[in-house]
């Protein structure tokens, strides 16, 4: 599983994080999770002064690219939360899928 420690936040940012997560939870956009997978979050100030919650996907993508380095562009492409496995035959595809799933389990 891929996980990175959360970034340090000032108390006001922690409050904003809790508020925004609670709103997303209430609106049904997110749900509680105990998954070992995760990426750090950060805030970006919007023009109106409010804070936009952002996931630091470059960090997550870097980790995923390192884990799947030997397969990248051979039969595997990863982008954020999408994984594309491509093959020339059904049998080859089964092998590729097995390889990717085993790598994800490790």
d(C-alpha 76, C-alpha 99), whole Å: 10
Q: Model pTM?
A: 0.57
| pLDDT at position 39 over 80 | no
Mean pLDDT of 34-39: 77
Query: How many CB atoms are closer than 10 A to CB 88?
Result: 9
Structure tokens at 9: 């936040």
Tens digit of each residue's pLDDT (9 = 90 or more) over 17-26 = 999 999 999 9
Of residues 104, 53, 97, 51, the one with CA closest to residue 81: 104
Query: Tell me, what's the pLDDT at 98?
Result: 95
Query: Tell me, what's the pLDDT at 37?
Result: 73
Query: Tell me, what's the pLDDT at 1?
Result: 58
Q: What is the CA radius of gyration of the chain?
A: 18
% residues pLDDT > 90 (the chain): 51
Query: Tell me, what's the pLDDT at 2?
Result: 63
Per DSSP (E only), the strands in 1-106 are: 41-45, 51-55, 76-79, 82-85
d(C-alpha 22, C-alpha 39), whole Å: 18
Of residues 74, 76, 81, 73, the one with CA closest to residue 102: 76
Tens digit of each residue's pLDDT (9 = 90 or more) over 58-86 = 877 888 888 889 998 899 998 877 889 99
Bridge partners (DSSP) listed for residue 72: 76
Domain positions in the chain: 11-56, 68-105
């Amino acid at each position: 599983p891929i996980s990175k420690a959360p970034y340090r936040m000032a108390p006001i940012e922690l409050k904003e994080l809790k508020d925004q997560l609670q709103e997303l939870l209430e609106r049904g956009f997110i749900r509680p999770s105990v998954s070992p997978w995760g990426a750090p979050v950060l805030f970006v100030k919007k023009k109106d002064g409010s804070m936009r919650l952002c996931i630091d996907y470059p960090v997550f993508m870097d980790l995923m690219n390192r884990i799947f380095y030997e397969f990248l562009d051979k039969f595997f492409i990863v982008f954020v939360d999408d994984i594309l496995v491509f093959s020339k035959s059904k049998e080859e595809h089964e092998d590729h899928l097995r390889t990717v799933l085993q790598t994800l389990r490790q």
